[in-house]
Structure 1
């Protein structure tokens, strides 16, 4: 710039040249500044109110509504920051213009002059919940005349939550007998005891409360159908902020496009929520709920063959995160939602759900199916009183994976039966985060099918039990404390920094990328890790038995992901055709031809382990077959069955309660002792509420 200034008083060709250079430099500088500003556009700041399972700070991707808004704004390169506040605080921030808007559901705030509502997108599913045994008259076309229908319910006691943004038609009906409480769980208990006749509640909220807190109520309650209160979500934009109009236009335009191309429905499905029905009278559409594991994704890809050979059947896939899937499958049972025709369930659920009549029995399978080809222990795990209620897609036990190249370089040797002392010693030597390798990977994401799948077998090997002989929990015992303390310590010291957010699928990918020295998990992962198409360490993977603690018992689990038909499905014949196809010997052979024999679903059929092509590429095959065949289900000193789970209907709630607390300990929010104490209290409440015992009477 000094050169440019000096040229002002010099009239020459040289000064003219200098000015041209300066002009170009200034122009370039302006462009660079503009580009920098464009790249640092202030993000859209939104307030939100906790509304599980649609919105929440601790829900995956902050819930469906947050996921949708972020994807919509990302279409124009706009980032979104969402923070959660109490309702009054969130509304105040928006009305005062301190933030851009809030994720918001109707109610009295909708009329605020300081807010402008966006285009609507699917919202909560409010309805009236009742006990199945109570005959409450209700017209089939009730949704067409909600005010009249509500007046017909004037004689019934209806529970609602104080402060809930209720539908206007409900609020306006003066004749209703409303009873208000502080939260939905109180109302659920009142309804179960007959102290109210109906409960105003979101259907997913109600099912989650049953699944996670009141599992003994599953199957006892149902919603009046059709629902009376359709509702929508909106972004409520702050009316007076300078960029409100531009942001609103961007969001509404993106949302309209996403609704047109089906992305809104896809986002709903990915969170386990239900979109509108898409039925074609000429075609039977089977809705399949499955987990997003690699083997299931292969099944989805190859299912085009099934549709070609069954032209009257279309497959509607809902591929969902494991923890969300488990909860949404239970939703079908808890409130008779009828969302799925084919369910992906496991060895834990199948006998219990079969006993309760929630699944279609699979009798008289055709001879071509080869039922005697199923591995006996796997087949037995999917039966109740000798009847099959699910067909196994793949089965697994557990084992230790390790990087042979890292072990050789460090002069280490993995024993055939490692102990957790060995695992800790190896992890300490091999942990090299600066070099991109973590000493040990384990599931840390909360869920009875995620972190508890690893922690429960670990507790077994340290002498821990879930319950004593009277069904009282023993989660504060020395065995549980030692196991959980070691689990937390191992991951905090030698695991990835985001271990608390990683489940099976994320850990599998991390090991396949070469970033884990060791991983203790399911044997089914071997087909992925030894497959050079998808694993960068395929030639460097070793395997050994799952580790033990103080005792050699209960470290190897038995699990099968299987396909079942809910009794509520109206398409049972077509669903049965699909699950027979997907679990057949010919399907295994098809995967072998198309994907390579290393990728076939393992653990279900004897013929797989007699196949030379499979044995040639799967050095782990005989170990896995032996582990599955010999896995214990009945452990000494326990009056219940199970390795990872306990064979009672309440276990999802029990496991979830412990999973959440251990995850909090893993992230350092509480101590291990606090986590076990909190879980002990909650599990005791669950078991007592379910009628297993009465603590007061037992302590007399």
Structure 2
């Protein structure tokens, strides 16, 4: 595996400017670890529960660096790839884990897992456990796992006399969004990510490209961003967003859509299944109990979901690996799931990581509307079901190669600009194809093509 660091080196300056957004937890004389995480709601819950961690591990002080997704990715990648050593625990995903394990950037966690009584790695959702492993050993452990599905307001559909198909197509989603769109009331028919970033707009857009029969590269590493099939997926996504999406869509990421949908400003939202922890929380969501969930929109494929996990890893440069594992194992253990449920609310439990979560009676009750849908989406997220043609890379909503952080970011900028109307869709696709061709040349040359 090559260690191309285009995205990482571009972000080194950011990583070394200090820990913006950091907050110390503890403050005693114990061993201090620095934990870099994404500032999603579930991660903020973990920060709020640190008194429980301190009680169990009084010798460990935790300092958090909590940042928005795009910034966190850049800072973490830069630090780990360059051996910066700023962090003892990092939040990464099934995109980074196999590559970073092969590069020797993160610790093999299997020995830690095997000597930790009751940790039970076999309880992790099998598809997630496999995605976070290299040669059978886990190199990161899941905080939560996700696929994607379509959330919709059951009450509004009933009032409008509309019925959500059990397995909606993109055409049907476009029609339903248009029916319910009311921009004069600051209400959108649908909310979709438009924010630039390989993990923002390009996640659902890549899934759309896949289900229309396209993708990033064909089996021979030819770039296919401008293929007729990929174009259909891109156009369907952007057209849906332009015609019936939220205002300011080009700056909307997961967090923005979550806020908008939870506050009753959109009729539908296609995104990660992890949304349920906030959407169904009655203390912060005005639509809790009024939402239905169906599979991700399809076109030519059987399914269109993705597989993703925010997970915790220990950089090989950490000088506090045992203390880091104390924290990692605490935040990903069965008991943490119960702690969140009892202290914050069962709706806020991190979903999709452990099978036993779905056997807890309290969680089973509150998750009745989405538990099966979440697990079905995760179990069905395979290339065989979500892609029309074989590809030479791992991943569904991403391309599992080192260059993708930079490539996906560049293409995401083009697509976001098209969503904003700054350039045409044709211009965005043409430039994106050129970016992809630069990457494809390297892989074709390697294989002697």
Q: TM-score, normalised by structure 1?
A: 0.60
Per-residue CA distance 1:242-287 (angstroms, 9 max, x = gap): xxxxxxxxxxxxxxxxxxxxxx97xx513x9xx9x99999432111
C-alpha deviation, 1:685, in angstroms: 2.2
Q: Distance in 2 between matches of 1:353 and 1:633?
A: 22
Matches of 1:439 and 1:530, distance apart in 2: 20
Matched, 1:576 2:329: no
Instruction: Summarize deviations over 1:199-221 as a string: whole Å, max 9, x none.
Output: xxxxxxxx9x9433989xx9xxx
CA distance in 2, matches of 1:279, 1:590: 19
User: What is the CA RMSD across the aligned residues, in angstroms?
Assistant: 2.6
Within-5 A mapping of 1:282-301: 282-301=29-48
Tell me what 1:678 maps to: 431
Structure 1 match to 2:102: 355
Deviations 1:558-597 (A, max 9, x none): 1111000011111111001100000000000111111121
Counterpart in the other structure of 2:305:
556
Q: 1:490 to 1:630 in 2, by over 3 A?
A: closer
Answer whether contact 2:8 2:77 (CA < 8 A) is retained: no
Greater RCO (CA < 8 Å, at least 6 residues apart): 2
> 1:280 and 1:211, CA in 2 relative to 1: closer, same or farther beyond 3 A?
farther
1:380 paired residue number: 130
Matches within 5 A, 1:531-546: 531-546=281-296
Equivalent residue for 1:422, pick from 156, 167, 172? 172
Secondary structure, counterpart of 1:538 in structure 2: coil
Distance in 2 (CA, whole Å) between partners of 1:213 and 1:442 is: 27
1:633 positional shift: 4.2
Q: Secondary structure at the match of 1:407?
A: helix
Alignment CA distance shift 1:585-1:500 (3 Å):
same
Aligned to 2:366: 617
1:591 counterpart residue number = 340
**Structure 1 residues 390-432: Cα deviation after superposition (integer angstroms, max 9, x where no partner):** 1110001110001111111111000110001111111111001
Deviation at 1:632, TM superposition (A): 0.8
Q: Contact between 2:305 and 2:377, CA under 8 Å: does it hold in 1?
A: yes
The reply to whether residue 344 of structure 1 matches residue 139 of structure 2 is no
| 8 A contact 1:657–1:683 mirrored in 2 | no
Give the Cα–Cα distance (whole angstroms) in 2 for the partners of residues 376 and 426 of structure 1.
35
- The secondary structure found in structure 2 opposite 1:409 is helix
2:149 match: 399
Given candidates 285, 293, 309, the residue that maps to 2:56 is 309
CA distances 1:340-380 after superposition (whole Å, capped 9, x unpaired): 11110111111111111111001232231011211111111
CA shift for structure 1 position 309: 2.2
The structure 1 residue matched to 2:418, chosen from 665, 668, 689, is: 665
Distance 1:281 1:310, change over 3 A: closer
Q: Give the superposition deviation at 1:611.
A: 1.3
Is residue 2:20 matched to residue 1:211? Answer: no
Query: Are 1:269 and 2:16 counterparts?
Result: no
Q: 2:219 aligns with which of 437, 458, 469?
A: 469
Change (3 A) 1:279 1:213: closer
Output the TM-score relative to the length of structure 2.
Answer: 0.92
Which digits, 9 at most, give the CA deviation of each residue in 1:605-637, with x for residues without a partner?
A: 111111111111112112212222232145442
The equivalent of 2:274 in structure 1 is: 524
C-alpha contact (below 8 Å) 1:609/1:625 kept by paired residues: no
Q: Is 1:492 the equivalent of 2:242?
A: yes
Deviation at 1:500, TM superposition (A): 0.5
Deviations 1:448-488 (A, max 9, x none): 10001100010011110211223221111011211111211
User: Across the two proteins, how many residue pairs are aligned to each other?
Assistant: 437
Structure number, greater radius of gyration: 1
User: Could you tell me which residue of structure 2 aligns to residue 327 of structure 1?
Assistant: 74
